Structure 1
Amino acid sequence: MKKISKLILIGLSVLVLAIGAGCGKKDDTAQTDGKLKVVTSFYPLYYFAKEIGGDEATVVNLIAAGVEPHEWTPKSRDLDSVSEAQLFLYNGAGLEGWVEDFLNGLGSDSKVMTIEASKGITLIQGNPEHEEEHGEDHEGEEEEAQGHSELDVDPHTWVSPRSALVMAANIRDAFVKADPGNQAGYEERYLDLENRLKQLDAKFTQELSGFEKRDIVVSHQAFGYLCRDYGLNQIAIMGLSPEAEPRSQDLLEIANFVKEHKIPYIFFEELVSEQLAKTLASEANVDTLVLNPLEGLTPEQEKAGENYLTLSERNLENLRKALQ
C-alpha cells in the first residue's frame, strides 16, 4: 500500500512539474508572441519602429506620453524590459546621458542588439547659432551644454525630416539584422515611411525657401538640424537642455533682437513650461506660437492620434506664419 502511495506521489510530482514547465513556456510565448521585441528610448524612435515593424514586431517605448525626455531617467523595470528585448533603439548624440551605465547593467552575457539611431548624421557641435548671433562667449550656456552632452553636440537630430530619413534607414537595417526572416515586410513598410518622409522634406524645402526672413526665436535650442537643413537661423532663449536658466542679459538681448528685426512670434513647446517664452513675448510685445521639438506626445495628442508626421506638418504651418 505504501509502495502504491509512493508511486502515486511521484506521478503527481512529475505531472505538476510538467504542467509548470508547460505554463512557463506558454507565458514566454504569450510575452513575445513570436514577434521581434523592440524597446525604444523615446517617441520619435518609437514611431519609426512601429511604422517599420508593423504586425511583425512588438515595440515598447520607455518614456510615457507627456514626459519630457531630457528630464527622464530609467528605473529598474526599464532595465528588465530591455533585457527581455531583441533590439534596443536609442538616439545617441548625447541625448540619453544615462545610456552607457544603463547598457552596462544588462550584463556581459546580454544578447540585446543596441542601435544608435543618429549614426551617420553630421552632428552640430556646441552652440554655433547662439554664439554667431550674439557674438559673445556665453560661459553659462557652454557649461549647460557640456552637462547635457559630454560630446558637446546638439542631440536633436530627429526634428529635421532630412535627418529622420537617416534614422529610419538605420532602424530598418537593425530590424533586418535582428529578424532576417521578416526582411521583406520590414523593407516594404520602410519604403512607405521613407516616401512620406521624403515628401515632408520636399514640402519643408519648397515652402520655406521663399521667405526673406530667416530668423526664428525659440524657447529651447532644439531646432539646429531643422534650421541647418532648411536655411533658417534659431535664436534660443535656453540652451540644448530646456531646463537651463538664461541670464537676464541674454533675455534683454533677445528682446531687443525681436524688436529690431520685427520678429512677430516667439515659439514655445508643449512638454515644458511656456512661462519664459510668454514673459519675453510680453516684453517684446509679440505673440507666441508652438514649435514642437517632437520629443514626445502629450496625452491629448496621443488620444487624438497625432504622430511625428502630423506634428511636423503643424510645425511647418507655424514656421510659415512666423516668417511672413
Structure 2
Amino acid sequence: MNKITLFLLFLGLSLGFQSCNSKQNKVDNKLISVSILPQKYFIERIAGKDFRVNVLIPPGASPASYEPTPKQMKDMSKSSLYLRIGHIPFEKAWLNKLLEGNDHIKSVDMSEGIELIKGTEVRHGDHFHEGGIDPHIWSSPKTAKQLIANTFKVLVQLAPEKEQEYTGNYMKLMSDINVMDKGAEAIFSQMPEKAFMIYHPALSYIARDYGLTQISIEHDGKAPSPAHMKKMLHQAKAHNIKTIFLQKQFNIENAQVIAKEIDAELIQIDPLSEDWLTEMNRIMTYLKK
C-alpha cells in the first residue's frame, strides 16, 4: 500500500470519525432539559409530545443531593433549552457544570414573576437555599400558575406555528388548577384551625397562599433532637393536628413517633410527582380535612 493510499485511508477515517462525533453532539431542538418531574407534566399538558423532556432529577431523588448521571449530562449537552426552577440546591450546585461547554443551551429561570418566600437563611439538610429563598414554587396552585405561564411563553417561542393549539391546552390546564385553587380558598377561609405538620417544609407556598400554618418536624434541616421532638408534640396537641405529611424522599421514623403519640394519621406525599395535578389535588384534600 503506497503513501498516497495510506493518506487517503487515514483522511477517510478521520472525516468519518468527525462526522460521527458531529452527529453525536448535534443539538436537538426538540429536546428540552428540566430539573424536576412536574415540569415535564406542564410541558406535556401544553405541547403534548411535540418535545422530548430530559428530567435531571428522577423519581424518588432529592433536589438537595442528587448528582446527574453521564447519560443525563450527555442528553443535556444535546438540549437547546434548560428550564430551571430557579433556586433549588441541585441547580446551584450543577448549573455551571451542566452549561459548561454548551454555549448553545439557553437557560431560562421559571421562577420569574413569582413572589418568592425569603428569609435570612433557609437551611435544609446539608445545604442552604440560595439567598434564603424557599424553592418549592411548584408546590402551590397559585405559584404554579405563574411557573406554567412562563413555560407556556417559552414553548410558543419555540413553536410559534403551534400557538393556537398550545393556547387551548394552556387554558385547559389553568382551568383545572383554578378549580382546585378556588375550591381551596372557599374551604380554608371557613376553617377555624389552619395548621398542619410536615416533616420537611415543602408546602410553605401553600401555607402562605391560603393562610395556613406549616409546622416543620425537621429542625435546621436536620432530624429533630429530643428537645425539638418534645416541642413538636406540644405544638401538635395545641393545634389539634390529626394529619402529618411526609415526603417520599425523607425518613419516616421521627414522623411515626409523633403520629403515634398524638394519634394522627401519617400521610406520604410526593410534590415532585410527575402526575402533578393528581398529587396536588390529593394534598389539598388532606389539608382540608
TM-score range, shorter chain: 0.7 to 0.9
User: How has the CA–CA distance of structure 1 residues 285 and 20 changed in structure 2, closer, same or farther, with 3 Å as cutoff?
Assistant: closer
Give the TM-score taking structure 2 as reference length: 0.84
Contact 1:68 1:296 in 2 (8 A): no
User: How has the CA–CA distance of structure 1 residues 188 and 111 changed in structure 2, closer, same or farther, with 3 Å as cutoff?
Assistant: farther
User: How has the CA–CA distance of structure 1 residues 99 and 119 changed in structure 2, closer, same or farther, with 3 Å as cutoff?
Assistant: farther
RMSD of aligned residue pairs (Cα, Å) = 3.3
User: 1:164 Cα deviation (Å)?
Assistant: 0.5
User: 1:178 Cα deviation (Å)?
Assistant: 3.2
User: 1:146 Cα deviation (Å)?
Assistant: 8.9
Choose from 68, 87, 95 the match for 1:100. Answer: 95
Match of 2:157 in 1: 177
User: 1:196 Cα deviation (Å)?
Assistant: 1.5
User: 1:216 Cα deviation (Å)?
Assistant: 0.6
Distance 1:165 1:149 in 2: 22
User: How has the CA–CA distance of structure 1 residues 147 and 67 changed in structure 2, closer, same or farther, with 3 Å as cutoff?
Assistant: closer
Q: Count how many residue pairs are aligned between Structure 1 and Structure 2.
A: 286
Distance 1:22 1:260 in 2: 69
SS in 1 for 2:100: coil
Choose from 251, 276, 279 the match for 1:311. Answer: 279
SS in 2 for 1:73: coil
Match of 2:107 in 1: 114
Match of 2:272 in 1: 295
The amino acid of 1:171's aligned partner reads: T
User: How has the CA–CA distance of structure 1 residues 193 and 102 changed in structure 2, closer, same or farther, with 3 Å as cutoff?
Assistant: farther
Choose from 250, 254, 259 the match for 1:272. Answer: 250
Contact 1:160 1:225 in 2 (8 A): yes
- In structure 2, runs of 5+ residues without a counterpart are none
Q: Which has the larger Rg?
A: 1
Contact 2:242 2:265 in 1 (8 A): yes
Distance 1:203 1:240 in 2: 33
The amino acid of 1:168's aligned partner reads: I
User: 1:154 Cα deviation (Å)?
Assistant: 0.9
User: 1:21 Cα deviation (Å)?
Assistant: 9.5
Match of 1:58 in 2: 52
Contact 1:67 1:271 in 2 (8 A): yes
Of stretches 42-51 and 262-271 in structure 1, the one that deviates more from structure 2 is: 262-271
Contact 2:31 2:80 in 1 (8 A): yes
Distance 1:24 1:18 in 2: 10
Distance 2:125 2:160 in 1: 40
The amino acid of 2:61's aligned partner reads: V
Distance 2:150 2:63 in 1: 21
Match of 2:197 in 1: 217
Distance 1:220 1:20 in 2: 50
Distance 1:87 1:266 in 2: 38
Contact 2:25 2:77 in 1 (8 A): no
- In structure 1, runs of 5+ residues without a counterpart are 128-140, 298-306
The amino acid of 1:313's aligned partner reads: N
Distance 2:187 2:123 in 1: 36
Choose from 174, 194, 197 the match for 1:194. Answer: 174
The amino acid of 1:49's aligned partner reads: I
1:36-55 aligned within 5 A: 36-55=30-49
Kindly provide the CA deviation profile for residues 130-152 of structure 1, in whole angstroms up to 9, marking residues without a partner as x. xxxxxxxxxxx965589331311
Distance 1:117 1:239 in 2: 28
User: How has the CA–CA distance of structure 1 residues 153 and 142 changed in structure 2, closer, same or farther, with 3 Å as cutoff?
Assistant: closer
User: How has the CA–CA distance of structure 1 residues 149 and 18 changed in structure 2, closer, same or farther, with 3 Å as cutoff?
Assistant: closer
The amino acid of 2:37's aligned partner reads: Y
User: 1:204 Cα deviation (Å)?
Assistant: 1.8
Give the TM-score taking structure 1 as reference length: 0.76
Distance 1:153 1:247 in 2: 25
